């Protein structure tokens, strides 16, 4: 396995829509393993392929509490098939927008469908942090960032800081 570089805003790849995976190949399985290692090393609780500059619909997540041990999800072509009407607010951050967080309101629970590493179609129900994480990572596959769910004022404040930080790195 290998650690992969995580791209940061304002990289335009983060605003593109990822393509579905047509076939689960050894390269896709290696990508999932490398993404999981990268996510844990960052450290983070989720990572989508566009965040490593790969434009396919692949995500990894682990929202388990430390005392529960790891609960790694590897999802290929994930999609949300049902969202609850009730919502919840959670503070979100992003490995592609380091150092910035914001309170995001999302549907509190969902039903998702995805392919597992063996190519089997799976469905799952999720709520709480896992539901928010699934929505956050699938947003990445669609070119959407968590800051897009914030008020215009909060989004602009974060965006100005991000652009200033990007200029100082160059």
DSSP letter for each residue of 98-134: TT-EEEEEEESEEEEEEE-TTS-EEEEEEEHHHHHHH
Q: Tell me the pairing of strands 109-115 and 121-127.
A: antiparallel
Enumerate the active-site residues. 137
Report pLDDT for 100: 92
Report pLDDT for 132: 97
Query: Looking at the predicted structure, is the pLDDT value of residue 67 above 80?
Result: no
Q: Read off the tokens for 65.
A: 């509490």
Q: Give the pLDDT mean for 8-29.
A: 96
Query: What is the Cα–Cα distance from 107 to 66, expressed in whole angstroms?
Result: 25
- The domain locations on the chain are 12-169
Report pLDDT for 170: 63
Q: Cβ distance 136 to 92 under 8 Å?
A: yes
Poorest-pLDDT segment among 8-12, 16-20, 76-80, 134-138: 8-12
Poorest-pLDDT segment among 34-48, 70-84, 132-146, 153-167: 153-167
- Quote the percentage of the chain above a pLDDT of 90: 85
Provide the CATH topology of domain 12-169: Peptide Deformylase (3.90.45)
The closest of 101, 166, 106 to 136, measured between CA atoms, is 106
Convert 69-86 to b/e letters by CB count within 10 Å (16 or more is b): eeeebbbbbbebeebeee
Mean pLDDT over the full length of the chain: 94
Query: Looking at the predicted structure, is the pLDDT value of residue 138 above 70?
Result: yes
Global confidence as pTM: 0.94
């Amino acid at each position: 396995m290998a650690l992969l570089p995580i791209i940061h805003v304002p990289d335009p790849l983060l605003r593109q829509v990822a393509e579905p995976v047509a076939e689960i190949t050894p390269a896709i399985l290696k990508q999932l393993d490398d993404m999981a290692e990268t996510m844990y090393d960052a450290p983070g609780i989720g990572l989508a392929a566009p965040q490593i500059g790969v434009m396919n619909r692949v995500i990894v997540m682990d929202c388990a509490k430390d005392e529960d041990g790891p609960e790694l999800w590897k999802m290929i072509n994930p999609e949300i098939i049902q969202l609850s009407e009730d919502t919840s607010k959670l503070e979100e951050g992003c490995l592609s927008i380091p150092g910035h967080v914001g309170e995001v309101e999302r549907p509190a629970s969902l039903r998702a469908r995805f392919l597992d590493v063996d190519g089997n179609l799976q469905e799952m129900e999720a709520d709480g942090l896992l539901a928010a994480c699934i929505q956050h990572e699938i947003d990445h596959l669609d070119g959407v960032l968590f800051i897009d769910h914030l008020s215009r004022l909060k989004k602009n404040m974060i965006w100005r800081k991000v652009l200033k930080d990007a200029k100082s790195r160059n």
